[in-house]
Amino acid sequence: MPLHLNPVVPGWANYYSTVVSKETYKKADMLTYQQLRAWANSRHPNKTPGWVAKKYWQTIENDNWSFASRKKGKVMRLKKHSETPIGRHIKVQGNRSPYDGDFLYWSTRMGKHPEISTRVTTLLKKQKGKCAHCKLFFRDGELIETDHKRPKSQGGRDSYAHLQLLHRHCHDVKTANDDKAGGMRNQHQSTEDPCAEKSASTVLKTSGSGDGAA
């Protein structure tokens, strides 16, 4: 069954997702479609092309040509190469070393660092080294704080989707705006988690530091 290709298609596409592969993905999807169409026609030689298309291809998530099968109310769809996002590989800067002590650079690049919490390094990589408030790169010597996009007193959660990293001064501005909007100026200090969410991480000074963009 062609749906058995589901582990193969994204596996192959992921391997090439760090280079210019958009046009190649489109071509691979077209070749896959042609092969699937030939396979479907061979299974139903006495049926019209329209009948075959209606049986095997369905509209799913605004895609009119999804090869899919419905079984017991569950839809199984063949993934496409073009669904794999392109993430260009960025070379390590020539003067960089994992031992240079620049946790900002390596956390932003790799999403992990032995001296920094997993939460901070994950958010640094997700935000590409930028403050979520002012959109400027974090730099050496600056204080980074973890903030709830929505205050915990208003239902904010501790999941990564609801957290962000801010400069300390940006965090102060956002907190003041949150208090003003929610009328909670006198409640904020008691409702915010005083631990990891409000703790600040200092970006250490390093001799080979950059702007964290590569």
For the record, the structure tokens of 160 come out as: 């990564």
Residue 112: what pLDDT?
64
pLDDT, block means (10 residues), the chain with 214 residues: 79 85 91 93 93 86 78 81 79 70 67 74 85 87 86 81 91 87 53 45 43 45
Q: Are residues 77 and 133 in the same domain?
A: no
Residue 89: what pLDDT?
65
Residue 160 forms part of a structural domain: yes
Residue 85: what pLDDT?
85
Residue 156: what pLDDT?
77
For the record, the structure tokens of 153 come out as: 């007193």
The span from the CA of 157 to the CA of 163, in Å, is 8
Q: Are residues 151 and 116 in the same domain?
A: yes
Residue 144: what pLDDT?
86
Burial class (CB in 10 A: 0-12, 13-18, 19+), 95: exposed
Q: Are residues 197 and 136 in the same domain?
A: yes
Q: Are residues 109 and 190 in the same domain?
A: yes
For the chain, the domain total comes to 2
Residue 125 forms part of a structural domain: yes
Residue 196: what pLDDT?
39
For the record, the structure tokens of 77 come out as: 């769809």
How many CA atoms within 13 Å lie on the side-chain side of 11? 5
C-alpha distances (whole Å) from 39 to each of 1, 47, 93 are 10, 13, 49
Task: State which residues form the domain around 153.
Answer: 103-202
Helix/strand/coil for 137: strand
Which DSSP symbol is given to 101? -
Q: Are residues 109 and 79 in the same domain?
A: no
Contact 131, 167 (CB under 8 A): yes
